[in-house]
Amino acid sequence: MENNRKEASYIMAKEQVKAIREFYVSSFLYCIIIPVLIWINYQTTSFPWAVFPALGWGLGLIGKGMAAYGINPLWGKVWEQRKIQELMNKEGF
C-alpha cells in the first residue's frame, strides 16, 4: 500500500513538473514571438492587429500557469481531492 502511494505521488509530481516546464517554454516563446509580431505590425500597417495574438496567447498563458501551479479559483486542489475521494468510495468504480 505504501509503495502504491509513493508511486502515485511520483507520477503526480512528474506531471506537475511537466506542466511547469511547458509553461516556461510557452512563456519564453511568448516573450520572443510577440515582440516580433509587434515589430512586423509597426512596419506594415497602422492597425494594431498584434494586440489580438498578444491578448489571446497571454490569456492562454495565464491559464496554463494557473494550471501548472495548481491555482484554480473554481476547481482547486481541495475540490479535486474531494472528488477523487468521492469516486473512490463509490460502489463499482
45-84 confidence digits (pLDDT tens): 999 999 999 999 999 999 999 988 888 777 767 777 788 8
Domain that holds residue 19: 2-89
Predicted local distance difference test score (pLDDT) of residue 93:
59
Number of domains in the chain: 1
Q: Using 50, 70 and 90 to split pLDDT, how confident is the model at 1?
A: low
Average pLDDT score over the chain: 88
Residue 20 has a pLDDT of 94
Residue 67 burial (CB < 10 Å; 0-12/13-18/19+)?
middle
> Which residue type sits at 87?
L
